[in-house]
Structure 1
């Protein structure tokens, strides 16, 4: 244990050196690159040198007590050598500072640069980055070793660390964090990292701790150990915490509306589909030929749901008594499973639902969640790296929702292999034709899963050739050949329950019975067609139609679904046709299944004005009920069954109403999440066809912008949907609403830009209002969070990479990132600079890192109180260029589906770049890592190795040209060669149609400059310009 304490103490000293040295290098790099002439920008070399001497002395003291052969000790020696080199450089800078006769800004920088050159700074930065990587790996090894000890030993280790800190001057939040009571909630890894970061300077400690934790977790994910090794070395945790983490793992695996598709599928009517479990009779084949596969609308999804539905008649015994209620098929599968554990899982692909309902990722997460719910003992084996991170860091792990498709696929295969010895697994997957991806990959996956005899798989699809070929050697059935009795039962039951048909049966029994047979014959086994036709005929019976009228009505209905939809669409009430067309546009444009309430907000005549005027307050139960009922009536009257409200909504209204007809308050949350979608996949296909779209578009007489109304709807939903947790960046709906609003705002027609600007302003105000309300909650104790919330700085609380990535926490930055040009044109000031405030505690000796709200302190005074009783609050003001946000823009599509390694392929929006340049944005504006122009060059150089499509290359070239024309690349003499090299890399893969310039620009730079129209290189400190002349045309890279 002493060795472990020594190792973590040494790691803390190493981290202190790396953190401090990195900050020093960053300060001087910024000092060299800035064009400012303010003397206070010069780093305080005396103070830096004094602090560095203290830190190096601490490192020497820690390394003297460590094992000289350990990798961590060797890293400490390397860090000490680098720190001593930095000390020598600082000494030389002190001499240069004292001997510089001129106190002019440029002279001082030149004197410093003569001592510490650019390449030397970069070399030190590279070494420090390498030290960071080595420290992360060594820390991971030490944390793993400590985590494998018993829980009692872990607590003893933390107690000894706490005692060490109490005996030093490191009194503060780190001591509180080392409380052993936090071991069960935060995890051993979090507490050990709190100890390691305790020596880091207070202003940077919180950020450093978060960075270190994310890097250690990332190192766990990169670990090349196989599942068996990691599972064997899982951290030691109490059994009760293990169960809680398994529940947390399942919660993270699940996603919103995971069961929505199944809930929407119609229940099997009465005794229909019971034949699937009956023995084969002489007149019915158990399996038909595969070429006669399933027809669309024949009830495949209903059959799969029937098979998978809970068997309320089955008695639970043995292991099943601890599981979820078994499916109807379980009693028959039990004969196959025999003495093995039986697990069943199901998934319904659906291209009208959320994005996950159409992907393999959704399939994997749903199936895995159901399997692990029934077999929690294989959770660690499913995703050993995630499990280890969860055990070490608890809910603080940054992996919560970054699921990759390959990781999920490997996990499912690992689980099936782990279960094959003592478990039998049966999977049901419906709607393969609604899968949005590579169908061959899906077929290969199913074949790989079924490679073992311990797995059975039942799939359903439309009769697509690719599935016929993929499963041609597997048994199959043709559903429409087996549903005759079910269809007859459905029709008869609905007709007999109708008073009009009962009278008809009394008058003309023979004709009435023949009508049923005629419907069955015309249906050709398509259950969906039957349900639509029965509804139409019952409507006629209610009007007192004669048998001949009903037969005429039946004959007029086309036998094909598409033709039937055609007739339904063209028979819509002309008075409501335009309104119906607007509904279809909204459903087609929305990113996610549209909530009933949201459709109601979008359906208001002046939706944008209503959304702005709406107060920030949860919708009441009575208001929600009234709006639901209103929209139900409108949908039914306008769309005639082509759109429907979710089954959940029907359940609420039919099963949860009180006797007085109202909905209880506890059901209000369910009521708010009911959605409106197409009746069936075939309806969606039909409505999105060219013919239907042409008809619907012609029905809309006045200009209609669905993005405008959906934007207003999202704003209204954000104001009325509760609870909204502004700090919950993973599972909360808040950031999802903001993102969806911005998506639609960026696509609003220019003619509606005024309304868009007003809604954008209201969104910012609404989010600031929610932030201020959050500040009063007792759960917010961090000083920084309190101050940000109180000041309405809601964007500063966004999760890294959620909305802005590396850009500033300013609302205009958000508008730039999402390409909302109209808003930026009206709200950005000249120069396109924005200012943000960062709240930090400036007290040197603090009671806690980042500040803690004292329970006895008034609500408006959330100050940081140091050991001397003084409150020292720091507000750091940062100036940021919006042009940098335009260059580093994270696009909507890429953040949803493009892997992390392609993030640098994000291409800026030339229209936004041009807008900012016209408003005076400076491409040479400096920031920590250089200038905006430097950022462009880095982005292009990073993108070239991965290959760029033609349009992307031209976009980058257009942006480079614009920036150069507006003065990008201002430089002094010593930078000239580096700039030339950068420009060559930007265009080195181009060729000039007039000259055919070779890719190697050596010796050809002069002619190239002449061909593209670059002016003669200017004198130092003067900008240059470039124009693409008509003589030489730069074509695709």
Structure 2
């Protein structure tokens, strides 16, 4: 075993041993406490989560180490020092597993949070002799691990120089490096007790580094959310040769007060530390913000202002068409803190010290962040410190925030009061922002983009062979067309984009230059008028289909293109009868291309496929998402009059988007071969939509869920292993027994309606097996899980009332018990009497068997 692996295994063993000893000590303390003032509930939750996490990590270390032995052909039959270390690791893991089972029993006995129940649970543990055995075994393991590790390291002393650099720089285990270096003197041997103590102390320091790293990783995981990068990635990149002006100050424009120099602001030290970029809807604010956030010239100019101090850059792009986190203040600060702290363990330990103390004690500090805590962390991050840093924050779409806009304004104005903090923010020119930022450096985007629009239009037309031919024949009219578009756009890039697409469609019909100019003349200025014109020009049949697609995407923001193909089916029950058969790659691509063509022909650019629209050469894939072209397009469709038109076109309730999505995900589950993650996610979405419909229609979709079960058992192997629900965020919940049927799963996820119906025909044994899953998964345990990032879970009551499920199971089991007693009595009579006795005939005189 190489030294680094040996240290990792030993560190894992020591952490489990020390923590398990603390847990046993604390349970005694709880039991002896007379007033019950200790936080027993949080202790049990924290201890269970931490112990499970330690056990899981050590299991992985053992697996990798044993695999390394075997891959190198090492003998694994003799009791070498390495094998002793591995055996100690397995022993400690076994102790942890045993202790976890006991803690789990306590948690179940304390259901309802009653003090007496908790004490009874603790008593049941402490009175068992095996607990003393666990404590003794922990003590033995702790004594043996130092010696086993030392012997393992001494055998491979020559490998240390090669590992030292990697250990200190890449893995940042400085204490481990020091420990390894202390063994490089071949004459040193731990012959004296003091020398062994010195080695043990060095090992403890190395273990402490591991604990700090685990806490650091936990905090970053708590700050991160699954869709954090989605909005940034969805913003179109700036077109070639556009946005350059932001770094190339035009003296004439600056002198005429068109805008305040951005480059001078970046490098300036005059105290004006907030810059406001304002612009009309569709003027390209987000594209510009993404451009300047990424451009190396931004960092170069900031270095002048930073004056040699470390520079930390972080950004957030609000998105009111996205998830709750993408449009909330919580998402803003979690994103900024995550970006700012990703490579700064020391600062994390400082600003989250209150959590660190709980983590060191019993693995606590895992609770969900509150707004006040995030604000305090942000203020602590940017506050002046002994090690000065500079901060540059980019925040786009202040107007897309779903709360009080003044709150955001004050947050960044206060931050910008520090001389070492700069913030560049963007929004529509609403009064709340105009009043707050009136004395700050700023620019109004639509006044500065005419040249960019000219570049964009010229490039788009020059890539069309029909236009190239026409422009050579009529160069003056070609120039008039481009200038006319730029003038009529009034700085709104989205309007230009839609108009260019319309004119290119005319070119495909062999329009003349005069036809193109006539098209431009009749196209109205302003986005809303243009949107109305585009939709009114659709064929009536296409318009109905377009409205159905609008409703589908409204009901499920940013679906995958393949998901939309399955949902866009005239028969919303088609997947129920479909065969369980995996589509070939060619068949999948055919469906992707078909759906993309439908969007282009029906939706007139209101809906588009991300990335493909910007660069069709990228191609379509199962990872292609569908989105509204812009927030303004979605706002237009959701306006009162337009939404009435859409509902009328689709027959109101006659078209049910949830029913179509339920059908769509059933189709995907049956037909698409994808990753385990995606299969499990599709499986869960089927259940979610079934619950939405049950909640809306007050009718249980038992047949649908039965078919989901059948497809899941065949196509989704993780339906049985349930590996994605075993770990919830950084916490670990009790692993359930093996799933035997969908009834087990229904009890596990508290699907009361389904259980109520199926319990009537299920056997008592099936019900008893399913009852084992009751209470494994609670709402508070899944709020920040992998599933919560993917599935709504609680929108339709995914985690329903526990008492309702308990009552259903109780009533069903009582009923089954009655039936079982009756059945046993009939069997007894048949065995005991020569003839079958009619239980209603009390005068029967049958002769018993002898």
Instruction: Name 2:232's counterpart in structure 1.
Output: 262
1:594 is matched with 559
| Equivalent residue number for residue 360 of structure 1 | 329
Q: 1:605 to 1:627 in 2, by over 3 A?
A: same
Cα-to-partner distance string for 1:841-874 (whole Å, 9 max, x where unaligned): xxxxxxxxxxxxxxxxxxxxxxxxxxxxxxxxxx
How far residue 274 of structure 1 moved from its aligned partner, in angstroms, is 0.6
SS at match of 2:253: coil
Say which of 592, 610, 617 aligns to 1:654: 617
Match of 1:399 among 356, 360, 366: 366
Does the Cα contact within 8 Å between 2:771 and 2:809 map onto a contact in 1? no
Q: Which residue of 2 aligns with 1:759?
A: 704
1:461 to partner: Cα distance: 0.7
Query: Which residue in the other structure is 1:276 paired with?
Result: 246
Per the alignment, residue 40 of structure 2 pairs with: 133
| Structure 1 residue 204 corresponds to structure 2 residue 105 | yes
**Following TM superposition, by how much is the alpha carbon of 1:193 offset from its aligned partner in structure 2, in angstroms?**
7.3
Q: 2:580 aligns with which of 609, 612, 615?
A: 615
2:402 aligned to 436, 454, 464, which one? 436
More helix by share: 2
1:411 corresponds to which of 367, 377, 388 = 377
Q: What displacement does 1:698 show?
A: 2.4
Match of 1:681 in 2: 631
- Give the distance between the partners of 1:382 and 1:739, measured in 2 at CA: 41
* TM-fit CA distance, 1:587: 1.0
Provide the residue aligned with 1:708 in structure 2: 659
> How much has 1:391 moved relative to structure 2?
6.8
Q: Which digits, 9 at most, give the CA deviation of each residue in 1:387-416, with x for residues without a partner?
A: 56667788xx7938x444443333333222
Against the structure 1 CA distance between its residues 480 and 11, is the aligned structure 2 distance closer, same or farther, given a 3 Å change threshold?
A: closer
CA positional deviation for 1:348: 1.1
Distance 1:376 1:597, change over 3 A: farther
Inter-partner Cα distance in structure 2 for 1:177 and 1:736? 42
Q: C-alpha separation between the residues in 2 aligned to 1:922 and 1:196?
A: 32
Q: Deviations over 1:768-796 (max 9, x none)?
A: 66787665799999999574334556538
Q: Would the aligned equivalents of 1:382 and 1:414 in 2 still touch at CA under 8 Å? A: yes
Match among 484, 494, 514 for residue 518 of structure 1 = 484
Q: Which residue of 1 aligns with 2:675?
A: 723
Which structure 2 residues correspond to residues 91-110 of structure 1 after superposition, within 5 A?
none
Aligned CA distance change for structure 1 residues 622 and 372 (closer, same or farther; 3 Å): farther
1:153 corresponds in structure 2 to none
Distance 1:364 1:533, change over 3 A: same
After TM superposition, the structure 1 = structure 2 runs for residues 67-146 of structure 1, keeping only pairs within 5 Å, are 72=29, 77=32, 133=40, 136=43
Find the residue that maps to 1:298 and give its secondary structure. Answer: coil
SS of equivalent residue, structure 1 residue 606: coil
- Out of 287, 296, 301, the position equivalent to 2:286 is 301
State whether residues 278 and 426 of structure 2, in contact with CA within 8 Å, keep that contact through their aligned partners in structure 1: no
Trace 1:308-327 onto structure 2 (pairs within 5 A): 308-309=293-294, 311=295, 327=296
Counterparts in 2 of 1:180 and 1:926: CA distance versus 1, 3 Å: same
CA deviation profile, 1:647-684 (whole Å, cap 9, x unmatched): 27976x624x6xxxxx8xxxxxxx43432110001001
**Is the 8 Å Cα contact of residues 10 and 76 (structure 1) preserved in structure 2?**
no
Distance (Å, rounded) in 1 between the aligned partners of 2:810 and 2:733: 35
Higher relative contact order (CA 8 A, sep 6+): 2
Residue 722 of structure 1, CA deviation: 4.2
Alignment counterpart, residue 633 of structure 1, candidates 576, 597, 610: 597
Between the aligned partners of 1:785 and 1:250, the Cα distance in structure 2 is 25
CA offset digits 1:963-1014 (Å, max 9, x no partner): xxxxxxxxxxxxxxxxxxxxxxxxxxxxxxxxxxxxxxxxxxxxxxxxxxxx
C-alpha contact 1:298 1:528 (8 A) present in aligned 2? yes
User: What is the TM-score with the length of structure 2 in the denominator?
Assistant: 0.64
Q: Which runs of 5+ in 1 are unaligned?
A: 17-71, 80-126, 148-175, 216-233, 312-326, 658-662, 664-670, 797-807, 817-822, 839-874, 897-904, 928-1037
Contact 1:349 1:429 in 2 (8 A): yes
SS at match of 1:615: coil
1:349 touches 1:435 (CA, 8 Å); kept in 2?
yes
* Paired position in structure 2 for 1:814: 751
Task: Report whether the alignment pairs 1:740 with 2:688.
Answer: yes
1:555 is the counterpart of 2:521: yes
Query: Does the 8 Å CA contact 2:543/2:602 hold for their aligned counterparts?
Result: yes
Contact residue 273 and residue 303 of structure 1 kept, 8 A? yes
Residues in 1 aligned to 2:339 and 2:739: alpha-carbon distance in whole angstroms: 39
Residues 377 and 738 (structure 1 numbering): CA distance in 2 closer, same or farther, change over 3 Å?
farther
1:228-284 CA-partner distances (Å, limit 9, x unpaired):
xxxxxx997454675576456534533333222222222211211111011341234
- Cα distance change of structure 1 residues 483 and 788 upon mapping to structure 2, 3 Å threshold: same
- Residue 853 of structure 1 aligns with which residue? none
* Structure 1 residue 563 displacement after superposition: 0.7
Displacement of 1:478 after TM fit?
Answer: 0.7
* Counterpart-to-counterpart distance in 2, 1:758 and 1:639: 35
Note the C-alpha offset of 1:529.
0.8
Inter-partner Cα distance in structure 2 for 1:793 and 1:737: 17
Q: Distance in 2 between matches of 1:879 and 1:794?
A: 7
Distance 1:778 1:346 in 2: 34
Distance in 1, Cα, partners of 2:512 & 2:559: 41
Alignment of 1:892-971 (within 5 A): none
How far off is 1:381 after superposition? 3.1
Name the structure 2 match of 1:222.
none
The alpha carbon displacement at 1:922 in A equals 9.6
**SS in structure 1 opposite 2:434?**
helix
Q: How does 1:474-623 map to 2 (within 5 A)?
A: 474-590=440-556, 592-610=557-575, 613=578, 615=580, 621-623=585-587
Give the superposition deviation at 1:473: 2.7
Q: 1:629 to 1:130 in 2, by over 3 A?
A: same
Cα offset, 1:739, TM superposition: 6.0
- C-alpha offsets along residues 949-976 of structure 1, whole Å, 9 cap, x if unaligned? xxxxxxxxxxxxxxxxxxxxxxxxxxxx
Secondary structure of the residue that 2:580 maps to in structure 1?
coil
SS of match in other structure, 1:378 = helix
How many Å apart are 1:709 and its aligned residue? Answer: 0.5
For residues 410 and 244 of structure 1, the distance between their equivalents in structure 2, rounded to whole angstroms, comes to 22
Change (3 A) 1:387 1:292: closer
1:699 alignment partner in structure 2: 649
Task: Kindly provide the CA deviation profile for residues 468-505 of structure 1, in whole angstroms up to 9, marking residues without a partner as x.
Answer: 22222322111111112111111222223323333332
Query: Taking structure 1 as reference, are residues 403 and 725 closer, same or farther at Cα in structure 2, changes over 3 Å only?
Result: farther
Q: Could you list the per-position Cα deviations for residues 849-906 of structure 1 after superposition, in whole angstroms to 9, with x for gaps in the alignment? A: xxxxxxxxxxxxxxxxxxxxxxxxxx696899xxx99xx997999999xxxxxxxx99
Residues 251, 683 of structure 1: alpha-carbon distance in 2 compared, 3 angstrom cutoff? same
Contact persistence 1:772–1:791 (CA under 8 A)? no
Query: In the aligned structure 2, how far is the partner of 1:893 from the partner of 1:204?
Result: 20
Aligned counterparts of 2:38 and 2:241: Cα–Cα separation in 1: 70
Alpha-carbon shift at residue 349 of structure 1 (Å): 0.8
Post-superposition Cα deviations, 1:604-651, rounded to whole Å, max 9, x if no partner, equal 23243325635386x654443332222111111110111011227976
Is the partner of 1:746 in helix, strand or coil?
A: helix
For residues 738-817 of structure 1, what are the structure 2 equivalents within 5 Å? Answer: 740-746=688-694, 749=697, 756-767=701-712, 785=735, 787-790=737-740, 794-795=744-745, 809=748, 813-816=750-753
Query: What are the within-5 Å matches in structure 2 for residues 319-468 of structure 1?
Result: 327-386=296-355, 399=366, 402-417=368-383, 421-468=387-434
Please give the alpha-carbon distance, in whole angstroms, between the structure 1 residues aligned to 2:595 and 2:17.
Answer: 65
C-alpha distance in 2 between matches for 1:430 and 1:783: 38
Q: CA deviation at 1:723?
A: 3.4
> 1:551 Cα shift?
2.2
RMSD between superposed Cα atoms in Å:
5.4
Closer/same/farther in 2, CA of residues 815 and 760 from structure 1, 3 Å limit: farther
For residues 764-821 of structure 1, what are the alpha-carbon distances to aligned partners after superposition, in whole Å with 9 as ceiling and x for unaligned?
444566787665799999999574334556538xxxxxxxxxxx537xx4144xxxxx
Residue-pair matches, total: 646
Alpha-carbon separation, structure 1, partners of 2:478 and 2:306: 49
SS in structure 2 at match of 1:411: helix
